[in-house]
Each structure stands twice: as structure tokens, then as C-alpha cells.
Structure 1
């Protein structure tokens, strides 16, 4: 719902209501309670009128007591029913957004990485938390309470006309002013709330990026500049909130003045009619101020509640935009294998992230089962992209990728990824224990399997030394661990799933020589058992690979074993190898 959209979007509203379909019984109960509460609340002032007209003037103490008990009973019943009404609408709203959060998160996990490449994490977080929370108000403070208030207004007006149509008309003379004030308030607050939602999203995105990149901010002494940017965003957010508060601060006193004017007119005219015995009874004059309060209160709140409903719909449209994002990886393959032989073929593959700038260009190669292929090339040559498209994080535009002779799209995606493991250079660890980070809470992986894999890698000694060992609580992104330790944990994570195809994306480039020697030994042991793809910065680590693929700007420029490539005196691999050898000698 764009900012310039003024009409109520009934199709969107219907879609939001459909979210409550699993809870239709609670929804219906709340609707019935809304119908029941309106006449119940109006009955009290009617009984007060009867108390004055029929019992007080006639000194009927027993009758007065009986009416008082009726009022007390009605008050208790109304209190219980109103509690049930408020609780049921709130429970309904919380249940709907609980289900919606799961739905949105499940959808997000199925999207292509391209969506996250162009969507700020703070924006996605706002959609999943703030906007979904706002949808709750459609049920807890929106539709049901609006229905209840509208029914209450109709019932109160009917009783008022039945009691004294003259007094009612006198009271309604101020109604045009109230309706005008309500309309202006509704439009102004709606715009201000939309601005507030935009500023919340902007602030969340800013804070998420700066907190995640705080190390960079501090390294380059950018704290002051970032603080100034935050102050600007914070001022705009505060201003948006203050604008909304200003409209409330003006509107409610105006409504109180209009209500007081209506009450004054009613008392002025009604008192004269009572004195002249013109048809208005003293009981009616006593009850009418209560009727007026019951009439003006929901009218005053309707504008606010309608805005609440509108804001819920604004948030709902943003959430539905995420749900409707048609960037899911097509998972129509039915081929499932408990074990892959490991033959990988790239056949004239073309790929671009933005469908225009080709990153991979007409790339073809074959890795036989159990072989190791290393990939080298300058930055931006497409090394990591190969691993991304092999795992179907992105879809290729031309050509074909086959595993064991079958095109990738024929494989069930979950089954395929279970047989491929990747160790990245930038290791991501979640908040939780070491063993949870290794198993990713997969209950099929036992503690014994984790320990066995850790011993194979050489990570067991350092894990055992951590406080709590495998139950040591890792901070977000593994902040309390050294880079080498994080790499070792990621190795154990990959190996414990026993993959048939292993991908190492510069997995040893950020570790110290001692840790690298441990990892290198594990790599040499492991790649004998499975098809492996190694992306390496240090060429000394890949000389034993069966074949080496040399990439340059997405194209294959050389392919073959280490010794064979070195024989080509004008080859790119020989050039890179000699340059790195000289650097190592100088250092």
C-alpha cells in the first residue's frame, strides 16, 4: 500500500482475514461477543433512568434495591464477557502472527541467494518482526473492536431516540464538527504512521549493518561520521513519532470540547423541558450524559482504530510482498540418491548474477569420481561462483551441469545438498554450543560421530581445552574463537555429514601455519575418498590435485595436472606459480 493510496484495500483485507481461517471458532466467538456486549452496556443507563423515574420519586426502597442489584449483575456479566472478548481477540492476533512468522521464515530459507544479495538484512528483519507484529493489531485492536464500536453506536443511538428524540437531536447538532475532526485526524495520522514504519525499517537496516561491521568502523576511526548519520536517522524517526503524537494531542481535546458542548446543549435544553414537563423525564436527563459518553467514546476511538487497521494492512502488504517473492529455487526434481559416485560435469555453462554481466563464460570441464580438482584465478575470475551454481544457490542461464550424468534440476534439492559439503573462507558460526554448530541440530548425528570427525581433522585437542569442551557456548559469528579455530570447526561440520562431494573454498587462507599443517594433513586424507573441489590462494596446497582449472574473467584458460601446466612456459598457471614462489622467497 503506497503512501498515496487512500482507498481501503478490501482484497488485501480479505487476505489478512484469511490468515485467521485455522482459528475460525475463536474469530466467530469474538464476533458474537461484540454483538452481545453492545446491548449489555446500554442496559445500565436505561436501568438508571428507570431507577430515577420509577423508584426514587416514589420512595420505593425495595424496588430501588432490586434495580441496583440488576445493575450490579449486569456489570459483572459485562466485565466477564469483555475480558473474554479482549483475551480472545488478542489470542487470535498472536496465534495468527505466530503462524505467519513461521511461514515467512520458511519462505525466506527457500529463496535464491540473489534475493539476499539485494535486500538489506535489516529490511528483512523488519518484515519478519516489526511488520508481522503490526499485523497483530488488525485482530486485537482493529476489525473486532471496530465492529464492536459500530454496533455500540447503533444501539446507543436507537436507545437515545427511543428515550427522547428531541434530546437526541439536540445532542447530534455537534456531530458534523466531530465527523470533520475525525476525518482530518484519520488522514493525518495514517500518513504519519506510514512515515514511522519507513523510518523504523531505515533505522533497523542502519543498526544491523553498523553493528555487524563495527570492527571496520573502529579500525578506520569512522565512529564520529557514523554517529552523525545515526543522529540524522534518529531525528527523522523521532520527528515522525512526534508528528503522530501531535495529531493525537490536538484531536482528543477537540473531541472533548465537542462532547462538552453537546452535553451543555443537552442539559440546557433538557432541564427546561423537565421544568416545563415537556416530555423529558428527570431520569432521562440523568441517563443522557451516560449515553453521550457511550456515543462519543467509540466515535472518538474509531478514527484511531481505523488507522490501526490501515497500518496493519500496510504492514501486511509488506509481509505479503516477501511471501509473494517468486524467487524460489525450482525444486521439482525427484531424483534422490543415498550416495553419489561423484562425477561432476560442466557443459558450456554460462552464468550471470544480474542476467547481463557474465561471470562464467562457456565453461566446460569434467571431474571423475574420487578425483580432486583445484581452481585458481585472480579475484573476480568466478572461482566461488562455480561452487555456488554447483549447489544451485543460483541458477545458470545457459549450458548444463551434471552429477553422475544427471542434470542438476532432476535431483531433489534437499537430497542433493545432503551429499555436498562446503568449507568457506568466511566461517559463519551461530550462537550456541560447539556441538550444535557442528551438527546444526541434526538429531541423526551423534556426539560420538562428532568427536570422531574432530579427531580426524585434528580439532579435538583444541575443543577439549575450551571451557565445557563440545558444550562451550560460541558467541555470535564465533567472535570468541580464533580464525583457525573457527575454520577447524567448519571442517568438522562439513565432514560429519559424510559428503560425497567436498568443496573447499580457500579454507586454509586465513589460518596460521601450524593450524594449516593440521588441516592440510586432513585434506590430503579426506580427498582420497571423495570427489573434491579446492579453491586455493596458496598454490603450494594444490600441487597434488588430479587437475587444476585456471580461470580468467570467467573463462577456462588452462586445465590439467600441476606438472603438465608447469611445462607450459607461457601458461598462466606457471606465471602465477612463479610469482607466488618469489613472494614466499622474499618473505
Structure 2
């Protein structure tokens, strides 16, 4: 579904985040029942208390009008029985006190219920997203994922906090009032309720339109969040190119669309209440006219008329709330569709039910005629066969898009081969538990991600059970201890989001310490020294030797100093292996590697 966004700056083009939302489907009660499954953990504790409290307060509201009409008017007033009136006033006061207690308990426990269900649902969704494959994140922006976990689940809060219990209360009251009115006077009851079929018909016509409007709101919120996430993360690029005004203008367009969908949805939803109030007015007119006629004819007494007067006001109240509740259900269904879309998403890299544990590995890696495609139009690897022996350092060399990072991704099992197999110690990765694979592999990327928190916590991320002494030792080995000690609070220094208080080289040193602490059997360096200046690189060359010693290492790099000591260098081009061998062997063959090295030296000479 596409939505046109106002663009005041024609030169600023953006990717439009689109979502496939089926707006013409009928209300999905099966999906709503699935959503209500999250109430199960509280079905024997919190929920019964809230329901009992609701029934008590509802019963009081139903009993009081009957007491007033039947006892107060027909007996006490008719017979001028003051004592009975006093007893009745005391009795009604006690009932209202009981109702107050019931309402207090109901409000307390429905809030407990709602907050717990929202907590469980958000935790469940986040945990599920954590286990999804890389391909899932390749096709979605961070903002669109955040809006599902935050905004869409927040939209369900009102449903679980008040909606479900209020729905039960209103349905109970509505059915009870109808039964009481039919028992008291079937003629008058049918007369005042004649408007219900008309109201039901018109409201049904409005439902589809209102539901579509709330789905449009969700789409625009996702687009707004995606743009915000992109803008904040890319603020330095925006400022460096002086595009702040253009970016603000584009945001104004997205924000205007979001405002417009909210305004449309709320305007349509607001039509329910006036419509119900108009129905209430018609019902009251019929009650006064036809009820008075029945009193004059002696068909009903004054007490019954008074009871009808009480219940007519109470009758349209739950109908009005049910109309609002339906709007709430529409919003909840719109949000739940998007939540369950993620929950129904299965990892492309699935773990077999009978996957075996990989207790320990030596680090022997084999690619057996591996072919891989990120999409149908482009093959990233063409039947690659290679072997990496335990403890061997293997360098992957080639131009951008040659398949170097793809090989690293397949070793980590972020993706599965389209054809062929990737094996570690003779075990096909598809037959082994994912956690066992990834706990024995460490990856150091060019764009190191530093989490908010302390330096100590960031390094310990590699092995959460490590002691402070082990963390510090790992930092010393890679040469990070020196700059950490210069920080205001040393290892307890709080780093900002993404580690912005640190230089690129310092962040990279932390990633080396993190990888070393994990003590992996296989380590992947994906352009890991690209962000480090020459002076810093010289300091960590010794640390790299310590880091890679005894481990199978896959090194993706362009710098000759990083790869020349590799046991095996594999030269890739367009997903195929052109050459392989040691540095000396490849230089002597005067092939593609030789020309890459020569061109690098020529570039250095020109500096």
C-alpha cells in the first residue's frame, strides 16, 4: 500500500517504507482469540478477581433501580411508610459502598492484568525478533521494527487494561437490562428497543471504513519512526552536506501525512458517540410517550415506569461504550496484525529439532561446492570449494562485492548456502545447534558497535561470566588498557550510544578485547583494521598475533600488512576463486593478487 508523501525538496529523494496491510479482510476473531491467549498465565489469579469485582459492582447498579421502583415508589411512597423508606435508604447506601469497593478492586486488578500482559507480549516479541535471521533485518528498517515493539504493543495497553473487563461488564449489563425490561413490560421494552436494529445496520457500515483508517495510522507511524531513526543515525552526514533544511522539509511531509491519518481516523471514530446519543434521545421520547399511554391505560404502574427511566439511561450507556470498544478492537486488530506478522516470521536459518551439540571444535572449516544468492537476480558465490585447517590464518582478498563478507556470513551461519554445504570439523552447520556455532566464533567488524554502558560491560559482552581481572587482562593484551586508564573513570567510564566518546581506533581496540575475552576457536576479522590509523595499527600487530594464535582466523582486509603473514590467501572475483596460495606464491605467479599489491604500493608512493 503506497502513500504519497509531500516533498518540498525535489532533489532530496527518500526510500518509502511500505507495508502490506489487508484492509478489506473481515474482522479476524481468530486472531483476536490468539491475542487473548496472553491472558492465560493470569486466568486463575488476577483475572477472576477482576471479573468478580466487576460482577459485584454491576449487580448493584442493576438492583438499585428495581428497589427504587418496586419498593420505594410502589410500596413505601404509596403506603407512606417512612420506616421502610429509611431502611431502603440505608440498604441502598450499603449497596453503593459495596459497589465502590468492587470498582476499586476491579480498577486495581485490571491495571495489574494489563501491565503484565503488555510486559509479556513485548518480551515475547523482542525475544522472537532476536532469533530471526539476518535476511529479516536486510529487508526492514530499524525504525519499522521499533514501531512494532513499542507503538503497536502500546496500542494494546488500553485493550488489556480496561477493554476486556469493560466489554464483559457492558455485555453483562446490556443483557441483564434487556431481560429485566422484557420481564417488567414486554410491550414497552420492545418499543424503546426498536431503534437497535437501525443503529446496528448503520454502525456496521462504518466499521470497515474506520478500521482502514486506523491501519493507515499504523503505516504512517511506521514511516515516521523509520525516517526519525534514519535521520538521527545519519545526522553527521546530513550536517556535513548542509541538508538540515531539506531533511526538515521532508520530515514535515511525513509528519503531515501522519497527522492527517490520525485526524481522519479520530474523526470517523468520533461519529459513534453522537450516533448512540441520538439513539438514546429517540428511546427516551418513545419511553415518555408510550410509557405515559400505558400508565393511563393501567397496563403498567408508576414504579415500572421509573425503573424503565433508570434503565433506559443505563441501556444506551453500555451500547455507547461498546461502540467505542469496537473502535478500540479495530485499533487492537490493526496493531495485532502487525505484531503477529513478526511473530509468524520464521528464521530463514532454522535450527533442526534434532540438531546436535557441538561440545568443542578444532576449527577445521570446509566449503563444499557452495553457491549462495542474496536474491534471485544475483549470485554472490559460484560453487566455492575451499578448506581452512585448524589454527590456519586465511586471508580473503578481492574487490568490493567479490564475496568475501558472504563467506564470513556463511561460516557464522547468518545465512545458509543455496547449494552445497559449509562444515566445521566435518559437521554440516545445518545439523548443529546455532548457539554452539556462534559461541565458538568471534567476529570483529569494520564498523564496531559499542553499547551504551561502561567500558567494562562492553568488553565483558564477549563472555558475560568473565571476572574483572580477565576483562582487564584481555584489554592489556590488545593494547586497549593504555587509553582506558586515561579515561575519567577507567573501566567504569560510561560510553555514550554507539561509543561516540571514543575514537574509531579506540572502539576497534575494544572490539579486539571483546573477541579475545570470548576465547573463540574461530575468529573473523572483517576489515577490522580499516578504521585504525597506521600508528595504532603498529601497536596492535603484536596483539593480533596473540589474538589469532592457535585459532582458525579468516581475515578480510585490503592492507598488505594485515594479510601478508596469512598461511593462505584466497583471491575472489565476482563470487569465484581466482587464486589461492601464500603471499610469496601469489606474488611469484604475477596474477590478480600481484596486481592488487602493486597498485597499493603505487598509491602509497603517490601520497
TM-score, scaled relative to structure 1: 0.93
1:318 aligns with: 338
Q: Partner of 1:19: helix, strand, or coil?
A: helix
Structure 2: state its 5+ residue gaps: 1-19
1:266 aligns with 2:262: no
1:201 aligns with: 222
Q: Partner of 1:17: helix, strand, or coil?
A: helix
2: CA distance, partners of 1:545 / 1:244: 63
1:394-423 CA distances to partner (integer Å, 9 max, x unpaired)?
A: 101222222223322333321221111111
Segment drifting more, 78-87 vs 171-180: 171-180
Shift of 1:131: 2.0
1:547 aligns with 2:568: yes
- With over 3 angstroms needed to count, the CA separation of the structure-2 counterparts of 1:27 and 1:8, relative to structure 1, is farther
2: CA distance, partners of 1:218 / 1:290: 66
Shift of 1:184: 4.3
2: CA distance, partners of 1:343 / 1:227: 53
Q: Is the 8 A contact 2:272 2:323 kept in 1?
A: no
1: CA distance, partners of 2:65 / 2:186: 16
1:231-280 CA distances to partner (integer Å, 9 max, x unpaired)?
A: 22212221222123323444323432332343234234444655x47344
1:11 aligns with 2:24: no
1:493 aligns with 2:552: no
Q: Partner of 1:353: helix, strand, or coil?
A: strand
- With over 3 angstroms needed to count, the CA separation of the structure-2 counterparts of 1:2 and 1:499, relative to structure 1, is closer
Please give the residue correspondences for 1:271-420 in structure 2 after superposition, counting only pairs within 5 Å: 271=292, 274=295, 276=296, 278-332=298-352, 334-420=355-441
Aligned residues: 585
Shift of 1:355: 4.3
Which of 84, 89, 94 is the aligned partner of 1:63?
84
- With over 3 angstroms needed to count, the CA separation of the structure-2 counterparts of 1:168 and 1:471, relative to structure 1, is same
2:103 aligns with: 82
- With over 3 angstroms needed to count, the CA separation of the structure-2 counterparts of 1:8 and 1:246, relative to structure 1, is closer
Which of 226, 232, 250 is the aligned partner of 1:211?
232
Segment drifting more, 362-371 vs 463-472: 362-371
Shift of 1:211: 1.4
Which of 524, 532, 540 is the aligned partner of 1:511?
532
1: CA distance, partners of 2:297 / 2:379: 93
CA RMSD between the two structures: 2.4
2: CA distance, partners of 1:456 / 1:475: 24
Q: Is the 8 A contact 1:543 1:562 kept in 2?
A: yes
Which of 216, 220, 223 is the aligned partner of 2:241?
220
- With over 3 angstroms needed to count, the CA separation of the structure-2 counterparts of 1:223 and 1:489, relative to structure 1, is same
Shift of 1:19: 2.5
1:101 aligns with 2:122: yes
1:157 aligns with 2:189: no
Please give the residue correspondences for 1:120-131 in structure 2 after superposition, counting only pairs within 5 Å: 120-131=141-152
Shift of 1:338: 5.0
Q: Is the 8 A contact 2:57 2:98 kept in 1?
A: no
1: CA distance, partners of 2:183 / 2:237: 73
2: CA distance, partners of 1:206 / 1:416: 35
1:372-394 CA distances to partner (integer Å, 9 max, x unpaired)?
A: 11111111111111111001001
Segment drifting more, 403-412 vs 234-243: 403-412
1:482 aligns with: 503
Segment drifting more, 223-232 vs 134-143: 134-143
Shift of 1:584: 0.8
2: CA distance, partners of 1:252 / 1:366: 71
1:148 aligns with: 169
- With over 3 angstroms needed to count, the CA separation of the structure-2 counterparts of 1:334 and 1:2, relative to structure 1, is closer
1:45 aligns with 2:31: no
Which of 24, 30, 38 is the aligned partner of 2:43?
24
1:272-320 CA distances to partner (integer Å, 9 max, x unpaired)?
A: 655x473443434444332111100111111221232233233222222
- With over 3 angstroms needed to count, the CA separation of the structure-2 counterparts of 1:341 and 1:245, relative to structure 1, is closer
Q: Partner of 2:223: helix, strand, or coil?
A: helix
1: CA distance, partners of 2:253 / 2:337: 28
1:232 aligns with 2:253: yes
- With over 3 angstroms needed to count, the CA separation of the structure-2 counterparts of 1:335 and 1:319, relative to structure 1, is same
Q: Partner of 1:381: helix, strand, or coil?
A: coil
Q: Is the 8 A contact 1:143 1:309 kept in 2?
A: no
Shift of 1:446: 0.8
2:585 aligns with: 564
Q: Partner of 1:423: helix, strand, or coil?
A: strand
Q: Is the 8 A contact 2:370 2:422 kept in 1?
A: yes
Structure 1: state its 5+ residue gaps: none
- With over 3 angstroms needed to count, the CA separation of the structure-2 counterparts of 1:89 and 1:540, relative to structure 1, is same
Segment drifting more, 348-357 vs 451-460: 348-357
Which of 576, 589, 597 is the aligned partner of 1:577?
597
Shift of 1:485: 0.8
Shift of 1:489: 0.6
2: CA distance, partners of 1:519 / 1:378: 25
- With over 3 angstroms needed to count, the CA separation of the structure-2 counterparts of 1:246 and 1:179, relative to structure 1, is same
Shift of 1:448: 0.5
TM-score, scaled relative to structure 2: 0.90
Shift of 1:32: 4.9
2: CA distance, partners of 1:284 / 1:58: 17
1: CA distance, partners of 2:539 / 2:82: 97
Q: Is the 8 A contact 1:185 1:303 kept in 2?
A: no
Segment drifting more, 576-585 vs 137-146: 137-146
Shift of 1:36: 4.8
